[in-house]
Structures are given as C-alpha cells and as structure tokens.
C-alpha cells in the first residue's frame, strides 16, 4: 500500500486527526528540514506529514530548505507526495475558496537550491520535467474534490514567484500573459526535487485571495487568514478522501 506524504503549507502547519506514532528528527546532507517528519495514521492509512514553513509558521518561502524536506520524506519512506499550497487567483475562475489541481508550473524564482544533482558528480543528470505533476495522483485529487462537492479546476498553470512580498499589478498582468492561472511562492523547487527523487507529486492549491489587480482593493493578511480558516477543513476532508481510497 502506497505511503503518502503530505506537505502542509500556509494554514496547514499541523494535521488535526493525525494519530502520531513517531516524530522523526532527521539529519540530511542538506541541513535540517523545516520541521520533524511526523509518521502516523490518518483516515485509516499510514501517512507522513511535514510542515513546509515549520510549526509554528516561521520560515519564509524563499528560505525553506526544500532539498532537506524532500530528502527527509524520501528517507522516511514516502512513496508519493501531496503538497498543499495557498495561492492567489489570476484566472477569473480562480476566486477565493476555489481549488485548483495544477497540471503545469512556471518557475519565476531565483537563488534557490533547486537540484540534488550538483557538486562532484560522476556524470551530469537531467530529469524530464515536461509534465511536472503526476497524472494518477492528480486524478485522485480531482475525484476527491468532486466527491466532496468542492468548487475546483482540474487543470491550471501555477506561477511560482520568489516572495516573500506579494506581486505587483504589472507582474500579475505579465503572469497572465504567460498563461498562468494561479500564483504562489512554494511550488518550486519542491516539484522538481520530488521528480529527481522519483516520487510522484501533485499539488492541491487553495485560492486564498485574488492576485494583485484582480479585485478593487489591496490584498490584506486578514483576507488571506479568513480564506484559510474557511477552506482548511475542506483541504483536510479532501486529503482524507484521497487516503481512504
């Protein structure tokens, strides 16, 4: 039976209902992960959980040690990863509270440690990243969203920006011209590191605000926090349905 790992993003620093059997403080060749890897039972299945930003939420998107996080999950026994991400909505369909299971991603970040294949290598390694998200895992997520009656899009292009600041109106206009539907700060290099480790990986994105210029007002943290509070129970229910199936 597949051992799933859940990477919790903003608003999901702990997984209520997880019966913890082990707290794994793992050393990695890349430094310390954001938090201990929790092993336990959720929805009747063994699962691993890692808080991407630490617990409490304290690590900015550009400072997350993505390599340590992915290495730790792999060596804890993860066989597939569901990443939960809070995002801004660019496409008109991506309103606050909407879910998206992206099928593509564009990386706008810089300066992040983005590969395991560097240093003194015996040979250069390239991984195919044409389709960054695992198709079967995406289908599981969309089926769970449909069963739960959630408003969702089964496709979308995720724009990953550097952060920690939010984007300008002009930057969002550029991302829209590039074909992006949602925008976040943590989708990369997480996705490609999972690919390098041969771990199936998919993203469950919750829209928590309209992107810059997509509403009449400015974006506030109060708005984002309210959307997270209203949407996080749905996120947990979707994860439970995926694991139960």
Listed in sequence order, the residues at least 6 apart from 162 whose beta carbon sits closer than 8 Å to its beta carbon are 61, 62, 108, 109, 110, 111, 185
- 209 labelled binding-site residue: yes
Closest CA to 88 of 171, 202, 208, 185: 208
Rounded to whole angstroms, how far apart are CA atoms 160 and 74?
A: 23
Beta-strand relationship, 80-89 and 4-8: parallel
- 202 labelled binding-site residue: no
Structure-derived torsion over alpha carbons of residues 54, 56, 59, 60, reported in degrees to the nearest 10: 120
- 25 labelled binding-site residue: no
Q: Cβ(72)–Cβ(26) under 8 Å? A: yes
- 186 labelled binding-site residue: yes
3-state secondary structure of 163: coil
User: Does residue 231 have a cis bond before it (omega within 30 degrees)?
Assistant: no
- 211 labelled binding-site residue: yes
- 52 labelled binding-site residue: yes
Q: For residue 31, what are the β-bridge partners? A: 28
- 185 labelled binding-site residue: yes
Closest CA to 83 of 158, 8, 160: 8
Closest CA to 92 of 8, 182, 1: 182
Binding residues: 10, 52-53, 185-186, 209-211
Binding residues for phosphate: 10, 52-53, 186
Binding residues for substrate: 185, 209-211
């Amino acid at each position: 039976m597949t051992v799933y790992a859940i990477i919790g993003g903003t608003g999901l620093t702990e997984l209520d209902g997880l019966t913890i059997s082990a707290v794994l403080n793992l050393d990695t060749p890349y430094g310390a992960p954001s938090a201990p890897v929790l092993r336990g039972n959720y929805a009747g299945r063994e699962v691993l959980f890692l808080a991407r930003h630490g617990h409490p939420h304290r690590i900015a998107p550009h400072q997350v040690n993505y390599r340590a996080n992915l290495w730790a999950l792999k060596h804890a026994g993860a066989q597939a990863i569901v990443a939960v991400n809070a995002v801004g909505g660019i496409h008109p369909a991506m309103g606050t509270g909407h879910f998206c299971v992206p099928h593509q991603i564009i990386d706008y970040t810089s300066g992040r440690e983005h590969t395991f294949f560097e240093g003194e290598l015996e040979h250069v390694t390239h991984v195919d990243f044409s389709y960054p998200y695992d198709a079967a895992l995406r289908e599981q997520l969309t089926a769970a969203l449909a069963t739960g009656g959630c408003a969702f899009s089964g496709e979308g292009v995720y724009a990953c920006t550097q952060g920690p600041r939010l984007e300008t109106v002009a930057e969002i206009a550029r991302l829209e011209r590039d074909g992006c539907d949602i925008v976040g700060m943590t989708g990369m290099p997480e996705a490609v590191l999972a690919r390098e480790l041969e771990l199936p990986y998919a993203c469950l994105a919750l829209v928590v605000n309209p992107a810059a210029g997509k509403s009449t007002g400015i974006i506030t943290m109060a708005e984002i926090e309210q959307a997270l509070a209203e949407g996080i129970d749905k996120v947990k229910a979707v994860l439970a349905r995926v694991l139960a199936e």
